[in-house]
Structure 1
């Protein structure tokens, strides 16, 4: 008999288990993988963006889906609390652009190892197996069944199984199914922080091209309303676009369907339209006898030359001294606004996180306990909350994991 069973040995589960055990409770973590924190290892390109060094207001504002539900969790275990926790447990941190917090080592494995050490130091034991049912008795939870025939009996269960993104790390929706078996409703999981499929075929011509220091803007095609605009890095792929900027943008593109959103890239955000025109004029005059497509070499990556020339409508072989003011204006407009049509998102198993999950109206925001089944708690991505990129989603894991562990 164990006091508490935590299902899932990821970010939220390890935090919940360690915190619960620190109060003297006997805690077992049931994890299907042989490696704890597997999804942590691939976050932040292997660096792990631990949190965002922000206050309560900004944290909640960065969670577009059910952010207010997290008020108590963020208040109980803030970003500053998370930073202090890792520092005190032997993981030095650093804050970078956009208040993003990383381990000084730039190694995600160090974050996973730090959490594992913390949990083990509190006496948490680990059981390898895949949870397949919740055990109940007298109207409350009393254990977890796993691997079809095995059982762990306990007083409380914390579900921290993650969503459905990156299923190779173990996030295959088990927690949704377990929650539904005891009466919880689950908002259908959809992709969030995910690459975007684009209609225009010329994206494929630039497959593998990475752009840095460009501005990506997303607008609703029908209303013209801007929903996202940010400078950073992005990547062209065989299906459309990906990279940090695109993943961030996807979290703002709610209810996506073909043609709903336009993506516009400003390839030269440091220059105004007038400054860019002056730059073009200098380049054209300096290369008066060269073909237009070669004049572009001073402005764009080689892999983009053909596409940009085609989209400008200026024949490749046009000499610099043949380029008219009207041609130059078209080229300026293209460089300041290369536009694509979003067709949809890539599959949920390619998403960094899942939008959707256990209905938060059925969970106490002050304790993370189920309002339907006493003794059952939730933490992390399994809940119907998701945030923008920048460390906010991991902060949700730390805060909800802390609160669930504390109250379980």
Structure 2
């Protein structure tokens, strides 16, 4: 039996390697001149391999169709991928948030290790081969390449990724192949992506990084999610860890009114923050208000807070009324941001949406529509938060496809 695996990312590599471990004749097809091109840039070039949290906790970090992944996650766990990589010589370490990285901090070392896995399992690798079309004729899958050559396979695994970072080869080809075979494609949206804001003042504070703040989102005036941690202002809006994670949740609501708020002092209640502001006011009573919050807020934010609270920045602190002080407190606890849009999908870490999970067997990754057709990784309508969860989706679904093809 011949098996073709289309896509040389983490899902395709794991699928091909495990299929090959069963003595199957496997060919891995990759359009780039090397494997793992997107894997190479993950974790800022360090490759956040997976997460070391208990596998039970993974489901809380999968935003889309987490139940679909039960078989995958328990069949091939985070511990399994670590053991696999270690068995081929890669040393790993665990960092903040249980993120797992190679000790070398080089994603290229992870790719080299996966290539050893392929070699050990006799997988034939075709590089620089772009698939133009796949046809199912009789009991064969005919793969047609752009150079007009063809390959015939008994089974096919499509692991072509999503549409994020198209320069790495993730150009959405797999969705076209899946649609041709009759599969529904759930709406593709950018996920783990920065956000654009309507406010012009973001350009004045671009580069300002905030730590230990809370980002809150509302949809149609109902609070839907909050994230705590770090973020940064950019020339177009906001980015950073909590912004990316927030995008994964609210991208499902992009057709509704989305509003964002920053709590700059989440550790303090409004009452405690008011007392803190009052102490600063007493300390700097003769200063202008624009110079009286230096010990509480980043310098760049002070004029903004005062302006949003509708207070004259040149007003002396001892002239500030209680009502004005409470306005300042309220603004610090609920700095309003007007959501405009997500950055383009090409800038997203992952693609949300994809081949409908209703049409894939969750225990094998085989199509329920076309026997012998399998899927793995980001092409499927599943995605999670940052921290190694999306790569684990790739390994786990790839494993099931490779072991069941």
Which TM-score band (shorter chain)?
A: over 0.9
Write out per-residue CA displacement over residues 91-111 of structure 1, whole angstroms, 9 at most, x where no aligned residue: 223333433333333333332
**Residue equivalent to 1:33:** 32
**Larger displacement relative to structure 2 (74-83 or 12-21):** 74-83
Select the residue among 306, 309, 312 that pairs with 1:312.
Answer: 309
Contact residue 48 and residue 107 of structure 1 kept, 8 A = yes
Alpha-carbon distance in 1 for matches of 2:289, 2:108 = 49
**Residue equivalent to 1:184:** 183
* Distance change >3 Å, CA 368–CA 258, structure 1 → 2: closer
Query: After TM superposition, where is structure 1 displaced by more than 4 Å over at least 4 residues in a row?
Result: none
Helix, strand or coil: the match of 1:251?
helix
Alpha-carbon distance in 2 for matches of 1:284, 1:156 = 73
Structure 1 residue 165 displacement after superposition: 0.8
**Residue equivalent to 1:8:** 7
Helix, strand or coil: the match of 1:255?
helix
**Residue equivalent to 1:133:** 133
Alpha-carbon distance in 1 for matches of 2:6, 2:70 = 24
**Residue equivalent to 1:243:** 240
**Residue equivalent to 1:403:** 400
**Residue equivalent to 1:17:** 16
Q: TM-score, normalised by structure 1?
A: 0.92
Contact residue 141 and residue 157 of structure 1 kept, 8 A = no
**Larger displacement relative to structure 2 (325-334 or 49-58):** 49-58
Structure 2 gap segments, 5+ residues each? none
Alpha-carbon distance in 1 for matches of 2:320, 2:86 = 60
Structure 1 residue 308 displacement after superposition: 2.1
**Residue equivalent to 1:76:** 75
Contact residue 75 and residue 400 of structure 2 kept, 8 A = yes
Alpha-carbon distance in 2 for matches of 1:281, 1:361 = 57
Contact residue 141 and residue 374 of structure 1 kept, 8 A = no
**Residue equivalent to 1:356:** 353
Contact residue 261 and residue 337 of structure 2 kept, 8 A = yes
**Residue equivalent to 1:393:** 390
Structure 1 residue 258 displacement after superposition: 6.6
**Residue equivalent to 1:290:** 287
Structure 1 gap segments, 5+ residues each? none
Helix, strand or coil: the match of 2:252?
coil
* Distance change >3 Å, CA 318–CA 109, structure 1 → 2: farther
Write out per-residue CA displacement over residues 54-78 of structure 1, whole angstroms, 9 at most, x where no aligned residue: 4444323432322222221112112
Does the alignment pair 1:368 with 2:381?
no
Write out per-residue CA displacement over residues 92-144 of structure 1, whole angstroms, 9 at most, x where no aligned residue: 23333433333333333332232222222322222121111113221x34342
Q: TM-score, normalised by structure 2?
A: 0.93
Contact residue 165 and residue 172 of structure 1 kept, 8 A = yes
Q: How does 1:161-310 map to 2 (within 5 A)?
A: 161-222=160-221, 224=222, 226-257=223-254, 260-310=257-307
Helix, strand or coil: the match of 1:307?
helix
Alpha-carbon distance in 2 for matches of 1:271, 1:184 = 50
Helix, strand or coil: the match of 1:367?
coil
Contact residue 46 and residue 108 of structure 1 kept, 8 A = yes
Alpha-carbon distance in 1 for matches of 2:322, 2:93 = 49
Structure 1 residue 148 displacement after superposition: 4.2
Does the alignment pair 1:330 with 2:327?
yes
Structure 1 residue 244 displacement after superposition: 1.0
Helix, strand or coil: the match of 2:383?
coil
Alpha-carbon distance in 2 for matches of 1:91, 1:327 = 59
* Distance change >3 Å, CA 105–CA 221, structure 1 → 2: farther
Structure 1 residue 168 displacement after superposition: 0.9
Alpha-carbon distance in 2 for matches of 1:270, 1:106 = 34
Write out per-residue CA displacement over residues 239-274 of structure 1, whole angstroms, 9 at most, x where no aligned residue: 221111011011111433476222111112233333
* Distance change >3 Å, CA 148–CA 180, structure 1 → 2: farther
